A and B are shown apart, each in its own frame.
Chain A
Amino acid sequence: MRKLLCLIVALMMMLGCAQALAAGDDVAFAPYEERISMTVGRANPGSVDLPEDADIEHNKYLDYICDKLNIDVTYDWIAEPSTYNQKVNLAITSGDLPDVMIVTNKGQLQQLVENDLIEDLTGLADQYFSDYILDIYNSYADKGLGSCTFDGKVYAIPNLEAGYSYSYLWVRKDWVDALGAKMPTTLDEVVELARLFMEKDPGGNGEGNTIGIAVNTRVAGVYNNLGNIDPIFHTFGSFPRQWIRGEDGKLTYGTVTEETKNALAYVAQLYKEGVLDPEFVVRTGDDFNALLLSGRCGIFFGPWWMPDWPLPSAKVNNPDCDWVPVLAPLSDDGNFYAYKQDESTTWAVVRKGYEHPEAPFKVLNQTYIGMRGFDPSVREFYPDRNVLWTVYPLPILLNYDDENVQAAKLIQAALDTRNPEGLDPQNTNFYESSVKWLDDGDIDSWHTYTSRVTASMLAGSENVKFVDNVYPARTDTMDLKLTQLEKIEDETILKIIMNEMPVDEFDSFVTNWYAQGGQEITDEVNEMYGN
Chain B
Amino acid sequence: MRNRKAIAAYHLMLIPGFVLLILFSIIPMSGIVIAFEKFVPAKGIWGSKWIGMKNFEYMFSLPDSRSIFTNTLVIAVSKILCQLIVPVFVALMLGEIRSVWFKRTVQTVIYLPHFLSWVVLGGIITNMCSLDGIVNRMVMVFGGQPIMFLASNAWFRKVIILTDTWKEFGFGTVIYMAAMTGIDETLYESAQIDGATRMQRIWYITLPGILSTIVLMATLSLGNVLNAGFEQILTLYNPLVYQTGDILDTYVYRMGIENAQYGLATAVGLLKSVLSMILIILSYYMAGRFANYSIF
Assess whether B40 is interfacial by the CB under 8 Å rule: yes
Interface residues of B in 30-49 (CB under 8 A from A): 40-44
Complex CA–CA separation, A112 to B42 (angstroms): 8
CB distance A115 to B239 under 8 Å?
A: no
- The residue in A114, A282, A284 that gathers the most chain B C-beta atoms within 10 A of its C-beta is A282
CB distance B261 to A480 under 8 Å?
A: yes
Complex CA–CA separation, A457 to B261 (angstroms): 43
- What is the size category of the interface that chain A forms with chain B? 35 or more
For residue B255, give the distance in angstroms from its CB to the closest CB of chain A. 4
CB distance A516 to B63 under 8 Å?
A: yes
Task: Give which listed residue, B43, B130, B238, B264, contacts A480 with CB less than 8 A.
Answer: B264
The proximity string for B residues 116-136 relative to A, scoring 1 for CB distances below 8 Å and 0 otherwise, is 000000010010011110000
Assess whether B164 is interfacial by the CB under 8 Å rule: no
Chain A residues with CB below 8 A from B41, complex form: 89-90, 92-93, 111
The proximity string for B residues 57-94 relative to A, scoring 1 for CB distances below 8 Å and 0 otherwise, is 01000111000000000000000000000000000000
Chain B residues with CB below 8 A from A490, complex form: 239, 242
Asked, given contacts A282-B150, A487-B64, whether A500 binds B240 with beta carbons under 8 Å apart, the answer is yes
Closest A residue, CB atoms, query B54? A480
CB distance B240 to A483 under 8 Å?
A: no
Asked, given contacts A111-B42, A498-B151, whether A491 binds B254 with beta carbons under 8 Å apart, the answer is no
Chain B residues with CB below 8 A from A117, complex form: 42
Interface residues of B in 206-250 (CB under 8 A from A): 238-240, 242-243, 246
CB distance A487 to B254 under 8 Å?
A: yes
Interface residues of A in 89-118 (CB under 8 A from B): 89-90, 92-93, 107, 111-112, 114-115, 117
For residue B105, give the distance in angstroms from its CB to the closest CB of chain A. 34
Interface residues of B in 98-156 (CB under 8 A from A): 123, 126, 129-132, 148, 150-151, 153
- What is the size category of the interface that chain B forms with chain A? 20 to 34
For residue B267, give the distance in angstroms from its CB to the closest CB of chain A. 11
Asked, given contacts A111-B41, A282-B150, whether A491 binds B131 with beta carbons under 8 Å apart, the answer is no
CB distance B64 to A484 under 8 Å?
A: yes
Complex CA–CA separation, A209 to B242 (angstroms): 29
Assess whether B259 is interfacial by the CB under 8 Å rule: yes
Complex CA–CA separation, A209 to B264 (angstroms): 46
Assess whether B260 is interfacial by the CB under 8 Å rule: yes
The proximity string for A residues 487-513 relative to B, scoring 1 for CB distances below 8 Å and 0 otherwise, is 110110111001010000000000010
Task: Give which listed residue, B58, B150, B243, contacts A491 with CB less than 8 A.
Answer: B243
Task: Give which listed residue, B44, B130, B151, B260, contacts A479 with CB less than 8 A.
Answer: B260
Interface residues of A in 443-488 (CB under 8 A from B): 478-480, 482-484, 486-488
For residue A219, give the distance in angstroms from its CB to the closest CB of chain B. 10
Closest A residue, CB atoms, query B252? A483
The proximity string for A residues 13-35 relative to B, scoring 1 for CB distances below 8 Å and 0 otherwise, is 00000000000000000000000
Assess whether A278 is interfacial by the CB under 8 Å rule: yes
CB distance A282 to B239 under 8 Å?
A: no
CB distance A483 to B258 under 8 Å?
A: yes
CB distance B238 to A282 under 8 Å?
A: yes
CB distance A114 to B151 under 8 Å?
A: no
Task: Give which listed residue, B43, B123, B238, contacts A281 with CB less than 8 A.
Answer: B238
Tally A-B pairs: CB < 8 A: 83
Task: Give which listed residue, A93, A284, A483, A516, contacts B44 with CB less than 8 A.
Answer: A93
Interface residues of B in 248-277 (CB under 8 A from A): 251, 254-255, 258-261, 264
For residue A69, give the distance in angstroms from its CB to the closest CB of chain B. 32
Closest A residue, CB atoms, query B62? A484
Interface residues of B in 144-178 (CB under 8 A from A): 148, 150-151, 153
For residue B119, give the distance in angstroms from its CB to the closest CB of chain A. 12
Chain A residues with CB below 8 A from B40, complex form: 111
Closest B residue, CB atoms, query A476? B38
Assess whether A442 is interfacial by the CB under 8 Å rule: no
For residue A459, give the distance in angstroms from its CB to the closest CB of chain B. 30
Complex CA–CA separation, A112 to B43 (angstroms): 10
For residue A115, give the distance in angstroms from its CB to the closest CB of chain B. 5
Chain A residues with CB below 8 A from B259, complex form: 478-479, 482-483, 486
Complex CA–CA separation, A516 to B44 (angstroms): 28
CB distance A498 to B240 under 8 Å?
A: yes
CB distance B239 to A279 under 8 Å?
A: no
CB distance A487 to B42 under 8 Å?
A: no
CB distance B264 to A282 under 8 Å?
A: no
Asked, given contacts A107-B260, A114-B42, A282-B126, whether A487 binds B242 with beta carbons under 8 Å apart, the answer is yes
Asked, given contacts A92-B41, A107-B260, A112-B42, whether A279 binds B131 with beta carbons under 8 Å apart, the answer is yes
Chain A residues with CB below 8 A from B254, complex form: 483, 486-487
CB distance B42 to A483 under 8 Å?
A: no
Complex CA–CA separation, A65 to B129 (angstroms): 53
For residue B133, give the distance in angstroms from its CB to the closest CB of chain A. 10
For residue B155, give the distance in angstroms from its CB to the closest CB of chain A. 12
For residue A161, give the distance in angstroms from its CB to the closest CB of chain B. 22
Task: Give which listed residue, B43, B238, B246, contacts A217 with CB less than 8 A.
Answer: B238
Complex CA–CA separation, A523 to B95 (angstroms): 68
CB distance A93 to B58 under 8 Å?
A: no
Complex CA–CA separation, A279 to B131 (angstroms): 7
Chain A residues with CB below 8 A from B42, complex form: 89, 92-93, 111-112, 114-115, 117
Complex CA–CA separation, A112 to B41 (angstroms): 11
Complex CA–CA separation, A282 to B260 (angstroms): 26
CB distance B151 to A282 under 8 Å?
A: yes
CB distance B238 to A494 under 8 Å?
A: yes
Chain A residues with CB below 8 A from B264, complex form: 480
Additional pairs, 20, CB under 8 Å, beyond known A114-B42, A281-B239, A491-B240:
A115-B43, A117-B42, A278-B131, A278-B148, A281-B238, A281-B240, A282-B129, A282-B238, A284-B126, A480-B58, A480-B261, A483-B255, A484-B64, A486-B254, A487-B64, A487-B239, A487-B254, A488-B64, A490-B239, A500-B240
Q: Which residues of B contact A (CB under 8 A)?
A: 40-44, 58, 62-64, 123, 126, 129-132, 148, 150-151, 153, 238-240, 242-243, 246, 251, 254-255, 258-261, 264
The 7 closest A-B pairs by CB, nearest first: A490-B239, A483-B255, A92-B42, A89-B41, A93-B41, A494-B240, A111-B42
Question: Would you mind naming 8 contact pairs between A and B with Cβ atoms under 8 Å apart?
Answer: A89-B41, A115-B42, A117-B42, A483-B258, A484-B62, A484-B64, A486-B254, A486-B259
